[in-house]
């Protein structure tokens, strides 16, 4: 048994489940475990999906969902939290109320649709995410399309400024969907100039890259890294999981979160 | 991108979800990933639990559950399967029908109750598991209490013989619950003498050791190992995850499935 002082930090994950194992809590569990942390996962919505399509989203009832979060946070010391796909407006208030009790870094990946095009979030949910969850958020990690949709802005600088006004301490906008040769991700904070990160664009499309990135950042924050280091190292890890991606189904590839094995 | 010939084998997991991350599909995902395979996970039941107690089990509706399995097995080449906690008799028929289409090794861990004492399975479910799932099973991995309860036998040799008659090719009965100095696990097959494995007994109780073991065996079978090798190596791995166990909540310890990190 390890000395109780050197236990692994626990990252609370609040996200959807994807049976194919590319995205959702499985992506989070693997990305967090690979970083040397332990994930505790509360599922917002079950889904029926494969590497090609999402055909059904089944959100949990708020009462069961709350019970599951409460049991975990009353039992374990939580070091950080990652929020992913939510799937139902009823769950947003529960998340807000339960996370307000904890004073921990929160990474919010506002998953508005799947890479294959399924929409998870309507306008009312977007507004509720902004008003209820952004004020609790340390870092939001929208892709460029999600950033524009959430902020109603047409360019990324304006989108980032608008999202920061809703209370998140920082915004990392990922640029995979932009028509650029390389992928540019940009980290925005209130007072500093944006920091740009450039990554070689890979030819495939992937199922679960955003989940992998955001949960890795949450794990690196749980381990005590500052935000800039966590954001930079998590991108490098995620890029490697994509570079070594697996083609396990007929459509999108999956990140290999244990590419060393 | 890896050559398509060296993709990781996919292990289909059909099991419950435990938000604390000690047991259920998270145990399976981690144990399988650590073996160098990829898990595709279809959830039978959500639960509200922590390291101390299971307070609610929420089985999926059979139609949604079937849709989720079908989408995965139609999209991915499945190399082996692990079945864990089921939680509802309605799901047993779906599992039987969908798995009958696949010709793969199946490891069945008949989780009848949690280590903390919550019962998941009534008498009718036990009978249905025996008549519907045991004929498809390559290896069943009950603990000694589950073996006796399922078979209605009072000693382990008779229990194993009875379980083999229901159609499984082999039975591994784990001995953690027996009052012995060391833990003895026994592998029974139809024609060979039982093989005993002896492990140093650890002082703690654990949340998720059975899930870790059974999914590791399924992964080792997916990688092409024969049954005896898979059973022996999976026990060694599981014992190490327990030896390096984590005390993350107030009650039971959790296996550290990435104890190397």
Phi-psi region at B189: left, alpha or beta (left = phi > 0; alpha = psi -120 to 50) = beta
Both tokens of A20, joined, read: 């194919």
- Of B2, B71, B245, which is closest to A1 when you measure between CB atoms? B245
Q: What pLDDT does residue A122 have?
A: 80
- Of A26, A247, A250, which is closest to B39 when you measure between CB atoms? A26
Q: Among all residues of chain B, which has the CA nearest to that of A29?
A: B26
The sign of the torsion formed by the CA atoms of B236, B240, B243, B246 equals negative
Mark yes or no for CB contact B41/A29 under 8 Å: no
Q: What pLDDT does residue B51 have?
A: 77
Sheet containing A54-59, strands listed edge to edge, beginning at the edge strand earlier in sequence: A54-59, A38-49, A10-17, A78-83, A106-108, A139-140, A170-173, A183-189, A195-199
Contact A232, A216 (CB under 8 A): no
**Pairwise CA distance, residues B21 & A68, whole Å:** 12
From the candidates A34, A37, A48, A208, which should be mutated to test the interface with B, based on the most B CB atoms within 10 A? A48
Q: What pLDDT does residue A121 have?
A: 75
Q: What pLDDT does residue A219 have?
A: 98
Buried/exposed code over A225-245 (b: 16+ C-beta within 10 A; e: otherwise):
bebeebbbbbbebbbebbbeb
- Of B67, B253, B258, which is closest to A56 when you measure between CB atoms? B67
Phi-psi region at A111: left, alpha or beta (left = phi > 0; alpha = psi -120 to 50) = beta
What is the domain partition of chain A in residue ranges? 10-243
Buried/exposed code over A172-205 (b: 16+ C-beta within 10 A; e: otherwise):
bbbbbeeeeeebbbbbbbeeeeeeebebeebeee
Mark yes or no for CB contact B43/A46 under 8 Å: yes
Q: Secondary structure of B177-245 in the HEC alphabet?
A: CCCCCCEEEEEEECCCCCEEEEECCCCCCECCHHHHHHHHHHHHHHCCCCHHHHHHHHHHHHHHHHHCC
Strand B10-17 to strand B78-83: parallel, antiparallel, or no bridges (unpaired)? parallel
pLDDT-based confidence at B52, cuts 50/70/90?
Answer: confident
For B11-23, what is the mean pLDDT?
96
**Topology of the domain comprising A10-243:** 3.40.1190
Judged against a pLDDT cut of 70, whether residue B2 lies above it is answered with no
A71 and B CB contact within 8 Å: yes
Contact B78, B103 (CB under 8 A): no
Identify all chain B residues contacting A50, using CB atoms and an 8 Å cutoff. 71-72, 74-76
Q: What pLDDT does residue B5 have?
A: 45
* Complex confidence, ipTM: 0.94
pTM: 0.95
**Pairwise CA distance, residues A45 & A12, whole Å:** 16
The Cβ-side half-sphere exposure at B116, using a 13 Å CA radius, reads 17
B200 and A CB contact within 8 Å: no
User: Could you state, in chain order, the average pLDDT of each consecutive group of 10 residues for chain A (261 residues)?
Assistant: 65 97 96 98 93 88 96 96 95 97 96 71 89 98 95 96 98 94 96 95 92 98 98 98 93 92 77
Residues pairing with B185 in the sheet = B197
Residue A134 to residues A65, A92, A229, Cα–Cα distance (Å): 20, 11, 22
The label of the residue with tokens 């479910």 reads B125
Identify all chain A residues contacting B69, using CB atoms and an 8 Å cutoff. 19
A63 and B CB contact within 8 Å: no
- Of B10, B36, B246, which is closest to A248 when you measure between CB atoms? B10
The label of the residue with tokens 């050197």 reads A6
Contact A158, A151 (CB under 8 A): yes
For B137-160, what is the mean pLDDT?
96
**Pairwise CA distance, residues A251 & A189, whole Å:** 36
B24 and A CB contact within 8 Å: no
């Amino acid at each position: 048994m390890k000395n109780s002082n050197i236990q692994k930090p626990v990252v609370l994950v609040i996200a959807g489940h994807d049976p194919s194992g590319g995205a959702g809590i499985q992506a989070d569990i693997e990305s967090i475990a690979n970083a040397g942390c332990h994930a505790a996962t509360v599922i917002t919505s079950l889904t029926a999906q494969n590497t090609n399509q999402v055909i059904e989203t089944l959100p949990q009832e708020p009462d069961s969902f709350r019970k599951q979060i409460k049991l975990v946070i009353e039992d374990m010391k939580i070091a950080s939290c990652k929020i992913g796909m939510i799937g139902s407006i009823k769950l947003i208030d529960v998340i807000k109320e339960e996370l307000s009790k904890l004073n921990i870094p929160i990474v919010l990946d506002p998953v508005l649709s799947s890479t294959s095009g399924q929409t998870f979030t309507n306008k009312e949910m977007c507004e509720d995410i902004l008003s209820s969850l952004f004020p609790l958020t340390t870092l939001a990690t929208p892709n460029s399309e999600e950033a524009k949709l959430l902020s109603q802005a047409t360019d990324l600088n304006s989108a980032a400024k608008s999202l920061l006004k809703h209370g998140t301490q920082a915004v990392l906008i990922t640029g995979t969907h932009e028509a650029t040769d390389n992928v540019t991700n940009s980290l925005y904070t209130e007072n500093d100039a944006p920091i740009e990160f450039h990554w070689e664009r890979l030819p495939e499309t992937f199922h679960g890259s955003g989940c992998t990135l955001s949960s890795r950042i949450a794990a690196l924050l749980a381990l005590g890294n500052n935000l800039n280091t966590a954001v930079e190292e998590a991108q490098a890890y995620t890029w490697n999981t994509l570079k070594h991606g697996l083609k396990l189904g007929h459509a999108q590839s999956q990140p290999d979160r244990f590419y060393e094995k």
